[in-house]
Amino acid sequence: MQRLSCAITDNLDRIPARWLYTGIALVVLCLMLTGVSRGFDYNRQIIDRPLIALAGLLVCAGVVYLIAVWRVGAWNYAGRRLFWWIIVVGLAMRLAMFFSLPMMEDDWYRYLWDGAVTAAGLDPYERAPGAVTVASFPPSATDSAYAALAGSGGEVLARINHPHLKTIYPPVAQAAFAAAHFLAPWSLNAWRVVIFLFDLAALLLLCRLLGKLGLPLAMLALWWWNPLLVKEFYNSAHMDIVLIPLVLGALLAAADSRLVTGALLLGLAAGAKLWPVVLLPVIIRSGRTGRWRAAAGVVLFIAVCSIIYLPLAGQITGGTSGFSAYFSRWEMNDAIFMLPLWLFQNFTDSAGWAQLAARLTVGSVLLGLIAWQARKPWENPGQLVRRCLVVVTAMFLLSPTQFPWYYSWLLPLLALAPLGSLLLLTALLPLYYVRFYLDARGLVTLFDHWIVWLEYLPVLAMLGYEWLKSGNDVAEDRHAAR
């Protein structure tokens, strides 16, 4: 009888074939992407880079990922081998991409420069990178400090994009950049180590939240196995990972009825990148804590953000302001935003006014949706997560900038409340890299006006279907309860 019991246990703890083969395939595809990255040397002309191979491999990896996580929310399997298989595969994917050459992204040069400036005790918001060689006469101590940095990190300085603009990254992000500089000056891999630490923190917090929600740990794969996330963090080295553990920590604290702690963590997240501010109205609308505690959370959030953003107060406007440039005219890979922009362009000859009107329009829609989601208190952690997902999804889909790495804002929430329509973006957003292929051949308009819809129309159609289906399911449940 004991042998039979052990045999049954071993069989239950076996890694299912779907997870085994898709995990191996994802690691192999990451290794192939690393091989392709050798064709993205900085000095190589864009027209000669293997952009179609990059997009194709990422789309294939996205399809494999979708096969792996299909109906994972309904998966009740809790074997230890599967859990550790998920962890090992995710680690292998990250290791495979860790030493790759960045493909079509160069934001990390500014991260390294900002980190060096901050680590040297200088104000990263004082000068645009392109102005560091402009010194007073006689040179001040600050001029000499900048000159020393320019001498030791000259290659990094020379490769920063939009060098005429001052940095847009808030102080919490600057602290992360400085940490990488302290690890190893001017090192991309040192920055990748910092990325991994934040990524690991996000994984641990997702474990806690899945337990809080009573969901299977297999759902970690939604985050840990996502190939687009691995590419954008470990190849392109984007900084958005810095705020993810802080947002998850805020959700966990709120779920534990610690709204003040949640507001503090959300304020720190907004200190890495501004967008988490949209979650505050939802998080504080807890039906499990009193109004005074919610009010204290709001006051603390405002205080934290005010302190963090104080160094940037004089940098919001001006010709060299990164904030002004980003919020007034930055636009890339967007779909829905094009519609109001096109409408307003028909009423004015001013590109600036059309951009402003379109941004105010989508901003108003987003504010209305936030108010709708916060109209009633949430009663359980699952409700909180779903409302936050609705807000972040709307923000992403309405944004004039829908870079693939911005998708990482949705992924931790999708690991807690999966939606097939939004997971589909993993396989479709890589089409963004086709834009560079067409741009190098003078065909960028073809992408911006037409191909971009291939990324979003299937998602929007499926999202509409899921919304209608959920409404019908709720109606049926109400009818059955009568």
Q: Is residue 457 pLDDT above 50, yes or no? A: yes
435-440 average pLDDT score: 96
Both tokens assigned to 159? 């490769």
Q: CA-CA distances (angstroms) from residue 180 to 113, 365, 447?
A: 11, 39, 36
Cβ atoms of 254 and 281 closer than 8 Å? no
Q: Is residue 290 pLDDT above 80, yes or no? A: no
Tell me the three state secondary structure of residue 401.
strand
Both tokens assigned to 48? 């000669």
Q: Report which residue type is found at 410.
A: L
CA–CA distance, 370 with 392 (Å, rounded to integer): 10
Q: Is residue 479 pLDDT above 50, yes or no? A: no
Tens digit of each residue's pLDDT (9 = 90 or more) over 335-381: 999 999 999 999 888 888 999 999 999 999 999 999 999 999 999 99
Both tokens assigned to 173? 């992000």
Tens digit of each residue's pLDDT (9 = 90 or more) over 42-86: 999 999 999 999 999 999 999 999 999 987 766 665 578 899 999
More confident residue, 73 or 4: 73
Cβ atoms of 223 and 245 closer than 8 Å? no
CA–CA distance, 442 with 439 (Å, rounded to integer): 5
Tens digit of each residue's pLDDT (9 = 90 or more) over 212-259: 999 999 999 999 999 999 999 999 999 999 999 999 999 999 999 999
Q: Is residue 4 pLDDT above 60, yes or no? A: no
Both tokens assigned to 449? 């006006």
Q: How far is CA 13 from the centre of its chain?
A: 34
Q: How confident is the model at residue 137 (pLDDT cuts 50, 70, 90)?
A: very low
358 burial type by CB count under 10 A (0-12 exposed, 13-18 middle, 19+ buried): buried
For residue 308, what are the contacts with CB-CB under 8 A and spacing of at least 6?
170, 171, 172, 267, 268, 270, 271
Cβ atoms of 116 and 185 closer than 8 Å? yes
Q: Which residues pair with 332 in a beta bridge?
A: 401
CA–CA distance, 301 with 285 (Å, rounded to integer): 14
Q: CA-CA distances (angstroms) from residue 20 to 16, 88, 242, 409?
A: 6, 11, 30, 28
463-473 average pLDDT score: 80
Q: CA-CA distances (angstroms) from residue 38 to 43, 55, 95, 202, 302?
A: 12, 15, 16, 30, 46
Q: Is residue 17 pLDDT above 80, yes or no? A: yes
Q: What percent of the chain has pLDDT over 70?
A: 91
14-23 average pLDDT score: 91
Tell me the three state secondary structure of residue 154.
helix
104-120 average pLDDT score: 95
Tens digit of each residue's pLDDT (9 = 90 or more) over 249-258: 999 999 999 9
Cβ atoms of 459 and 336 closer than 8 Å? no
- pLDDT, residue 135, reads 53
Cβ atoms of 233 and 408 closer than 8 Å? yes
Q: What helix, strand, coil percent values describe the chain, rounded to 5?
A: 75, 0, 25
Q: Is residue 308 pLDDT above 90, yes or no? A: yes
The DSSP annotation for 14-38 comes to SPPHHHHHHHHHHHHHHHHHHHHGG
pTM: 0.92
